[in-house]
Amino acid sequence: MIQDPEYARRLAQNLVELLTPYEEELIHLERDAPAFRPLRRAVGIAIAEACFCISDVPASQATIVPPVDDETRRAR
């Protein structure tokens, strides 16, 4: 398992760049031969998962839990 999130994002970006032209070609092939649909879908899913990895930014606790200070308590 990859521990460095930035390295994982770079790998995912490379995967997207590598697979995108294949998906585009498979889209054209699928029009003439519907048998290519499962392969095109599999490539599309791999691209989507890689895009999720690229865009997956872990939310810090600061954005999830409001700060607990005197001002926040007064506002409640």
Q: What integer pLDDT is reported at residue 71 of this predicted model?
A: 56
Q: How confident is the model at residue 6 (pLDDT cuts 50, 70, 90)?
A: confident
Measured between alpha carbons, how far is residue 29 from residues 21, 42, 52 in Å?
Answer: 12, 14, 26
Q: Where are the domains of the chain?
A: 5-75
State the pTM of this model: 0.65
In angstroms, the CA 72 to CA 76 distance is 7
Are the CB atoms for 30 and 36 separated by under 8 Å?
A: yes
Query: What does the pLDDT look like over 14-37, one tens digit per residue?
Result: 999 999 999 999 999 999 999 999
Distance of CA 75 to the CA centre of its chain: 38
